[in-house]
Structure 1
Amino acid sequence: MRYPTPPALEFVASIEVEVSETITIGTTAQGMRRVAPIRGGTVSGPGISGRVLDAGADFQRYPSEDLGLLEANYVLELHDGHRILVENRAMRVATAQDLASMMAGEHVDPRRVYFRCVPSLSADESGPYAWMNRMLFLGTGERRPEGVRIDVFRVK
């Protein structure tokens, strides 16, 4: 049997997101809930560079000790003044001990963590980044003590 060729990925940018102190809501019916306010950062890649605005948050849900479900919404302001809305859904899987260490702000070797995401990028339809409105993106993530790094790829 011949299998179809999987789609290719093309690197778009790395987003370094800075967060301030995480707000713990507590254990809810959906699991442990936390909110990490997004306070800035940078974006860089071929043909795209700029900063992460102090606008947005990462809403975190931990339904089990080894699983984190994340929903981050924030804004990029690019070098040319155009703005991109990022709506990112992610999954972070690690041992209970490693997830607890990350939640405490400690460094955990990213090779021990499955951190994948599906960012949606929205741009002004009349601007040079309108192509983002008609593309699917995938990403990999790395939690760092000061924030998160997301590498974004376009699905070709």
Structure 2
Amino acid sequence: PKPPTFTYLYSSNVTLGPTIDYGAGPRGHRVAIPITGGTLSGPRIKGNFINLGADWGAIDNLGVFNPDTRYGILTDDGANIYIQTSGPTQKDGHTHLRMIFETAANSTYSWLNEIVAVGILTGGSGYVSIDAW
């Protein structure tokens, strides 16, 4: 069979608020990390992260952080796009993301509603960077 190919979507820098600790629960040690802003830019999409969203990730019993995010972007031409991501953090510190996009069916970006996308997240203090394909 022919393997799938990847098309570069964008690179982003995302600003984060202070972590809120919910403690250990049945699905791991839960935290919430507010997504407060940032920018993204790629060949077909440019915009800003809006201050509405968070990562509701958990650290599992193996010590692996598994993000569970929901957030939005506003494109430079005024479209709202909802993004949901999840995936495991690797031993090298990168996180492999499964990405789901949702926007208006009549939007310039409606093609995002139909794609399978992946991302690589790297982080620092108060920010993360995501490259998406």
Q: TM-score range by the shorter chain?
A: over 0.9
Counterpart-to-counterpart distance in 2, 1:92 and 1:31 = 14
2:30 and 2:57 in contact (8 A); partners too: yes
- Select 1:37's aligned residue among 16, 21, 34: 34
Runs of 4 or more consecutive aligned structure 1 residues displaced over 3 Å after TM superposition: none
Instruction: Name the CA distance, whole Å, in 2 between partners of 1:47 and 1:30.
Output: 37
1:118 counterpart (79, 89, 98): 98
**Do the aligned residues in 2 keep the contact of 1:15 with 1:42 (CA within 8 Å)?**
yes
Report the TM-score, using the length of structure 2 for normalisation. 0.94
Structure 2 residue identity aligned to 1:37: P
Q: What is the percent sequence identity of the aligned residues?
A: 26
Unaligned runs of 5+ in 1: 95-111
1:21 to 18, 23, 33: 18
2:97 partner amino acid: C
Match of 2:82 among 67, 80, 85: 85
Equivalent AA in structure 1 for residue 36 of structure 2: R
Higher helix share: 1
Q: CA RMSD in A?
A: 1.2
State the AA in 1 paired with 2:10.
A
The structure whose residues are more often strand, as a share, is: 1
Q: Is residue 94–residue 122 contact of structure 2 (8 Å, CA) maintained in 1?
A: no
Distance 2:12 2:55 in 1: 14
Choose 1 or 2 for highest CA Rg.
1
